[in-house]
Homo-oligomer: A and B are copies of this chain.
């Protein structure tokens, strides 16, 4: 259960500023499904709008990284931050963008390895090599 109300479509429809964002989410994603994250944010239409605008700008436009790579980076951060919802939603998004089982397994392997060496580095308090400070 959330700490805020998850607004239903009817409730969102009653808030013009929220409805406008939901319409854009649906149009951008070409899908009627709007997941719970946005239904929680809809309690504050300004926060909803800013968050969606930011996500749209970073994740959906043409860019230097392909959309699947961006989703895998998102999963990596969400995993390290221990955000269960985010791991679930972005794994679904990555699969929708074509992530194969082999890519998923390799993503996990890198995430696990980074988790291990991050901890080793911190336990040893390794100073940054001069060579890395260009």
A residues near B, CB below 8 A?
1-4, 6, 33, 35-37, 40-41, 43-44, 46-47, 50-51, 53-55, 57-59, 63-65, 69-70, 72-92, 100-129, 131-134
Contact = CB atoms under 8 A, between A and B. Distances in A.
Instruction: Give the interface SS of chain A, mostly helix, strand, loop or mixed.
Output: helix
A81 to B, nearest CB: 4
A47 B114 CA distance: 14
A103 B3 CA distance: 13
A37 B105 contact: no
Contact of A50 (B57, B83, B106, B129): B57
Contact of A108 (B1, B44, B128): B44
